[in-house]
Structure 1
Amino acid sequence: MEKTIPLDERIIFALDVDSAVEAEAWVKKLKSHVRFFKVGLQLFIADWWRGIDAVLQNGCKVMVDLKLFDIPETVSLAVDKLKNKGVTFITVHGNDPIVRAAVAAKSGAKVLAVTVLTSFDESDMREMGLKGTIEDLVLMRAKRALALGCDGVVSSGLEAARLRQHLGEKFLVVTPGIRPGKNIDELKNDDQKRIVSAYRAIAEGADHVVVGRPISKASDPIAVVASMQDEIEKALAAKTS
């Protein structure tokens, strides 16, 4: 059964900027169409809580993507601070004790486990001495994270279908590495290696897509948002038809 998620929360816009002032300008520019924003390492280090406040004070939801990885007690305390702030999604990246600590502290927030970064491909796996496929690694990590109580995972759209096939529909899949469908085959030098269109990500099982530069670098950001939302609506319709 498809989750009830408003269209204006399906896209999570990545606030990859250097200040809360810039962040709030983007929130105000997009909030007529987008109500969910991501604060990552760049903005958080630049302006700390002010970047998160820029989203929350405009009545929108925030995903804090710091990929928490530290000793369990430190992760627990960090999650506690974030959930008390009113954050919706918190990302964590690490072994079982780290994930377990994040889950235990989450309360009203949702913890998402990062599976494999979208900038990572199988050539990187081989360099690290890992065998198997990216899909195998993502599935293994997702299965473990859900067993430990995570609300969902961060995964490329390329692995979403397999996650749904093996693990069901009850958890969240948040997909970065989204590019406009019309340009998807032209991005030869993109730093994100495992990329898909918004249509494919949603059709394959993602609940939310994280989008940054395709919107922020566009001459008409709202037009790009509207185009991606059209892709999302078509993907959702195709899944229920």
Structure 2
Amino acid sequence: MIGRHPEPRLRPDQLTIAWQSVSLLLDYPDQRLLEQTTLIRNASAELPDEVGRPLREFLDYLQSRPPEELAAEYVRTFDHQKKCCLFLTYFTSGDTRKRGIALLRFKQTYLRSGLVLGPDELPDHLSVVLEYAATTDQRLGWKLLLDYRAGFELLRLALAEASSPWALVADALRATLPPLRGDDWEAVVQLAEQGPPEEDVGLEAFAPPEYMPVGSDQYGRGGYR
């Protein structure tokens, strides 16, 4: 067990490949990402089929569309739909004081591993969490992913409901995680029914401004790489 959490089913090297691949593919589809598609495809051959296959299917989509079309669809999906938010704490805390506290927890976890984020980086962005888990500390990254599992499941379900190609990437990530137990499903259902809290005052008192969403691009990842 990792704390109260089950052990991963994949080998550490497979988790590194899977989480790094998902981290890249959930990021904005710029030229840098498009240049790495062959590398990601080759690496996916080292993964179990339930993880590697959806990644390769998404790569087929990625390589079949013009870059400007991919960029526009990414913005429509992740920037304009809150239910497809890539920030894990949004689902449980909304834009409330509690979210500021949750963001600090992510930041403190990273600091324990010697990782200091840049001023434009949001610590609960799923791509950031996955890159941390893949390249810095699998044990602590695993714990973050499972502690915020319900939020990820809501994101995955929203992507599937929207018939988004990024649902394939979410499916690949889900296949690296343990099956949901009864209590976990109850948490997902409760979040889906209640939605995130809506209070939007007081965050600044609990977290530095660089960790707060700003402007119309609030669901972008920032400059992690």
TM exceeding 0.5: no
Report which of the two has the higher share of helix: 2
Q: TM-score normalized by structure 2? A: 0.31
Higher relative contact order (CA 8 A, sep 6+): 2
Point out the structure with the larger strand share. 1
